[in-house]
Amino acid sequence: TSVICKTEKLGVEAQRAVSTSWRVRRRITVAAWVTEEITDGAELEDRPRLLEAVALVGAHRAAWLVVHRLDRFARNRDTDVLARRELDRLGATIVLAY
């Protein structure tokens, strides 16, 4: 199963280590890693790396968008709803790597 992992600047190394450990334990293949730097609740159009991650889910026909923590995924409700709606349309879901 392909997986797209999204992490953020704050604690990227720690998040990647946790995600890698999770991936190895489950024998999951990562199709792409996407790192995004945000500090507040930016709107979806101001989240190019999140948009890229969702697009990569579609391009790789990935089953999951893997994130370390859900509070690092969208940062505001509208962005969360829109991104999840697009992932749902692609047949993918968000998975927490811990």
pLDDT in tens, 31-55: 888 887 665 666 767 778 888 999 9
pLDDT in tens, 51-81: 899 999 999 999 999 887 777 777 788 888 8
- CB contact burial 79-95 (16+ within 10 A = b; e otherwise): bbebbbebbeebebebb
